Amino acid sequence: MPPPVQPDAETRLSVVVVAYNSAAALTLTLPALVAQLGPRDELVVVDNDSSDATLAVVRELAPGAVVLQTGRNAGFAAAANAGAAAATGELLLFLNPDARPAPGFVEGITAPLRDARGWGAWMGLVTAEDGRVVNTNGGVVHFTGIAWAGEAGAPAPGSLTGAREAAFLSGACLAVPRAEWERAGGFPGSYFMYFEDVDLSLRIRLAGGRLGVEPSAVVDHDYTFAKGLEKWRLLERNRWATVVRCYPGRLLIAVAPALLATELALLIVAASGGWLPQKLRGTAEALRRLPGLLRERRAIQATRVIPTSEFARWLTPDLDSAYLGRAGQLAPLRWALRAYWRAALSAVGERPLR
């Protein structure tokens, strides 16, 4: 793996904000952000063809911002990639338009680079409800690829008492040195939205990068999980794409039975929850993309420098997200998942890398 990016007194921060009908949110976020940017820092706003006053708000509140217009709703991933390509700073920060920085945020989010912690990428503490609760303090990934925001809904800051590593980083507030971003290849643009942050995080880890959370960098996110039924289609399509692309081969074999069982269980959950058509479409889209995903997988796995066991230790057998309901916390299911995961870890733990 190439050496981690070293801090530099002249390092510039480029903040990339992807906006889509985000005028109301930006009236809160931009003043809080712009007030903290240094004279050499830059703000890049990528507008996904908003029909509201987004552009007018940016011109008024951040007149020095670089504005890109995609001319269509290109989705978060592709628009963020475009913003990163236009940015000139050595440290990229992807910030949601409704993630309002707290005082001291920029100082905190740049600290891991100044302190030379050797992290490949990192995030801040993302709160909600005016800082009262956690939105995410580091993402969690189940071994079936289901991923969620860590400790969502817990009183802030949850268990985050100091800088630590995490399974994946939230795209709501994600910092990555440009050199690492370019090595990883950015977000998967075909995802449109959802799971692009999980995918990027896992690719950075495969290449030997560490993923950190900096608690002094706080943003308050105006977050709601419910975004319509189509969210489920994208979540399921992109979950499968991420598992196929990023899981090392031996791990993929070890979890294959669990993936099949999860698929059957999700069909029942989707039917009872009213999103079965979206579940079926998402899975069908992933299957249609399988030849391309396998090509992408070969390129991604060629970058892997860590053993399968190191990748696997950041996955969890517990389904303890507040968004997954009580079923995942039933004692028999928890016991079965933990037993399965112990067997899977044993299968991948002590063998050669390839």
Amino acid 226: pLDDT: 65
Query: Please, how many CA atoms are within 13 Å of residue 154, restricted to the half-sphere of its CB?
Result: 17
Amino acid 347: pLDDT: 87
Amino acid 349: pLDDT: 73
Give Cα separations from 171 to 61, 77, 115 (angstroms).
23, 9, 22
Amino acid 11: pLDDT: 67
Amino acid 227: pLDDT: 73
Amino acid 350: pLDDT: 46
Amino acid 324: pLDDT: 72
Question: b vs e for 272-300, b when ≥16 Cβ sit within 10 Å of the residue's Cβ?
Answer: eeebbebbebbbebbeebeeebeebbeeb
Instruction: List alpha helices for the chain, DSSP H.
Output: 23-34, 54-61, 75-86, 105-109, 111-114, 178-184, 196-206, 230-246, 249-273, 276-288, 290-301, 308-312, 331-349
Give the residues of the chain that fall short of pLDDT 70: 1-11, 226, 325, 327-328, 350-354
Amino acid 127: pLDDT: 97
